[in-house]
Amino acid sequence: MKLKKPVKIGENELAASTYALHKGKKLQHYNLAKEYCSKFIEIAEEDKFKYDFLKYTFDESKVKMNLPYIEQKEWAKIIGFDLLKLQQIQKNYDTFSNVSLLSTATEADHSIYLTTEHQQKLHLHLQKIVSVLNEKPEFTCLFFNVTNQFTNCLKYDSIECKAIINPIWICSQLN
């Protein structure tokens, strides 16, 4: 049975760090495009620019130059604009489609939630097991080295020498 309200039990640290890395890379490509295109135009509407660097730059430049019917290749030749350079930056920027830099974008939630009563019961029982295991830290490591019965649902934190619950495993148990 589903819970009325999901219960947060942890963070998917791998997903969060991957997202942060992708966001940083996408931001680098955006900054390269902005730096290059700013030599030719003023970027007044950043969200429009983020959708398509070349289209925005080309359209704004045509207005600025009062050349509404000029072809893109001819325009680039006249002002010394490197189309291939910007197209490559755009391609690299678009690679990170799981990240949005738009002003209306919301940050991704990498939290792990319990959504069913079954998951909640599992979590409570595992908390009891972890509590018992952590009463004797000197045996916790031995427990994990001797048995692999709990390797999916429990993990061993070697830094703090204690057992911890694997929230991703719990959430995979849907019954």
pLDDT digits (tens, 9 = 90+) for 25-67: 999 999 999 999 999 999 999 999 999 999 999 999 999 999 9
pLDDT exceeds 90 at position 11:
yes
Residue ranges covered by each domain of the chain: 13-94, 113-172
- Which pLDDT score, from 0 to 100, does residue 147 have? 61
- What value does the mean pLDDT take over residues 79-103? 96
More confident residue, 109 or 152: 109
Question: How would you write the chain as a 3-class SS string?
Answer: CEEEEEEEEEECHHHHHHHHHHHHHHHHHHHHHHHHHCCCCCCCCHHHHHHCHHHHHHHHHHHHHCCCCCCHHHHHHHHCCCHHHHHHHHHHHHCCCCCCCCCCCCCCCCEEEEEEHHHHHHHHHHHHHHHHHHCCHHHHHHHHHHCCCCCCCEEEECCCCEEEECHHHHHHCCC
